[in-house]
Amino acid sequence: MLNNLDAKIADMLVTTGYGDPFSVLGMHRGQDGTLFIRTLQPQAKNVHVINEKGEHVVQMEKVHPGGIFQAEFGPEAVFFRYRFVIDMLYESYITDDAYQFMPVLGDQDIYYLSEGSHLNMYDKLGAHLIEHQGTKGVCFAVWAPNAKRVSVVGNFNTWDGRRHLMRPRGSSGIWELFIPDLKEGEVYKYELLDKDGSLLPLKADPIGFFAEVRPATASIVYDIHKYQWQDNAYIDARRNKNKLEAPVAIYEVHLGSWRRKPEEDFRMLTYRELADELVPYVKEMGYTHVEFLPVAEHPFDGSWGYQVIGMYAPTSRFGTPDDFKYLVDAFHKEDIGVIVDWVPGHFPKDSHGLANFDGTALYEHEDPRRGEHKEWGTKIYNFGRNEVNNFLVSNALFWLKEYHIDGLRVDAVASMLYLDYDREDGEWIPNQYGGRENIEAISFLRRVNELAFGEDKGFTTIAEESTAWPMVSRPSYLGGLGFGYKWNMGWMHDTLEYMSKDPIYRRYEHDKMTFGLIYAFNENFVLPLSHDEVVHMKGSMIGKMPGDKWQKFANLRAYYGFMYGHPGKKLLFMGGEFAQDREWAFAESLSWHLLKDKYHKGVQTMIKDLNALYKKTPALYQVDFETKGFEWINMNDRDASVFSFIRYGKSPKDFVIVISNFTPVVREKYLLGVPEDCQYEEIFNSDKEIYGGSGQWENQNLKGLGKPWDFKKSSLKVNIPPLATIILAPKRK
């Protein structure tokens, strides 16, 4: 006897599952007043009902051969708390009935989640360890508005999608279920039927906080709030760390290939091992910040992390979420900021991910002219959909707040801004005004930046934007995108092209080194020598330099010196600091053995000294983004390939002079204009012997000649070593 249960619904329960399980499972009162309990336990031999004291109440009757059990009580019976004793073939166990619990999410949560304005949506959706109605367990919630039904599956129910059917929350598209007795570490996915009743591939949790190690793809229940942070002092002082007038020298790192364990089959280091090895190294080298290539969960190592599946989960390749927090904490204890690459521009098509999540284009656009990237073979988020917009905005805040990240470097911004990015005519759809600008993506980026900076906790954002889009790093209220910084891709391309030329031809490429100063103050620029410059057959940094071995290293040292003197914050990809001689390979360790060579060791020593000099010399960083912080001395000496300029701090009296000679010819007693008639000292010389240089042309006892030159008040005669950069500072009594 099914007691008010339609036979068709019963058959659905035991076959494909039913989309509104709470209406038929659990404790109910029938039309005749009879109280009954109904459960679906397909593999069970017997099911018994016990009360809260553990006392046996009744053995349930199997009312459907597919595993529907039912117990009936008279009309006089009242609702009570109960549990099940389930007899399997070889064992028995006790569990609560998930279908006797009230909803966890409140109506207000549902409203804001549906509206797309719940900035802490990750506190509601996903899997959360909670105590509900006096019982501990896990609340699961997922957005799948076009699914016919949704289930939670895992080892706890033998991956049987009929066992834990979720509750639909009205027309919101949100499904939820509290499963009692589940604990941290449970592996799970979502099983969905599309609107036509077809079974979709099992899906990982879009808000999953932890995942199985690839190639496995399930999500794992994890409590992300248990870690005890030790970085309070750093957080309190962080507001000054990312200010525009602060020194910012970034070490860009791919965690999987920075260093490996050769004695253990070249395995990758864990987050905690990186805390022991990477943190001291970055501290010793003097960097102010570290930037990680994407750490969010991704299925394919070869994507370097840029094809993200789990936007809310640090990758399990290196450990747990708490292990990642430990690494961030370790950097903060050493006063080093942590930036992570964030990828809202696209996502992969892997079947367990967001693509076609509920059988429809839920997170992406249906039309491939807007919903797919040709270049990467990935999907594009539908930034105009409120729920998707909120998913991404909340994710940005999630990394900043839950993982104490100092800044987000947003990848591939140009691909988001232009509807015709990497598309031919006819392959893209104009906006409502007929233009190529992605208005929805622009609005999204502004919202992220407004909320990040609105927290007023020292967060920053950095755009990798490769076009001339205006005002990327200007506030949104002025019409900008609102980023804190922008990568200066033009400077990088121009200067590397110049450096690749044989010095005899550099006079014809002279403008490549000066052109960047025409637009240097239009944005808050970071000068990036990133991973993108040492992959895809581009060679290594040292490999780009011309000449014999000595000249290659001299060129690279001179170039780095020029970079540190140039306006803009600094970024150098790992391996560049010791002139790795091969392209970066994501599956291999850096070539640390090269440090046995004096030239490679010399470059590393120079970068360490440059970082120290940079941080203690306000003229090199205080006024990076205003014209008053920079002045050419001579930008036109193309025949000698010499560049000379002044960098000023906030006070005009606080300045240094940067001189670069990009030929192998010594410029002895080179006449140079200076702004003050006083003594000068050489505070940096890339040709020092300790750096691998000649050490023969250091300047001593420099004194102003009292003779105007280069339109400056006084002048000096300096020795400029071959292929070298030197920096001078006034030495006043």
Catalytic center residues: 411, 464
Structure tokens belonging to residue 35: 């109280």
Could you give the C-alpha distances from 696 to 689, 693, 724, in angstroms and in order? 8, 8, 12
Judge if the upstream peptide bond of residue 722 is cis by omega within 30 degrees of 0. no
Structure tokens belonging to residue 654: 């606080």
Rounded to whole angstroms, the Cα distance separating 676 from 703 reads 10
Rounded to whole angstroms, the Cα distance separating 699 from 720 reads 8
Rounded to whole angstroms, the Cα distance separating 47 from 43 reads 11
Structure tokens belonging to residue 608: 């360490």
Structure tokens belonging to residue 695: 């050490």
Buried b (16+ CB within 10 A) or exposed e, 576-614: bbbbbbeebeeeebbbeebeebebbbbbbbbbebbbebb
Count other C-beta atoms under 10 Å from residue 369's C-beta. 14
The amino acid at 266 = F
Contact (Cβ atoms closer than 8 angstroms) between residue 173 and residue 116: no
The amino acid at 421 = Y
Give me the DSSP letters along 617-684. -GGGTTTSSSGGGEEEEEEEETTTTEEEEEEE-SSTT-EEEEEEE-SSS-EEEEEEEESS-SEEEEEE
Q: Give the pairing of strands 174-180 and 135-143.
A: antiparallel
Name 695's bridge partners. none
Structure tokens belonging to residue 469: 């889009």
- Report which secondary-structure segment, H or E, holds 170: none
Count other C-beta atoms under 10 Å from residue 371's C-beta. 18
Rounded to whole angstroms, the Cα distance separating 732 from 718 reads 18
Name 69's bridge partners. 39, 62
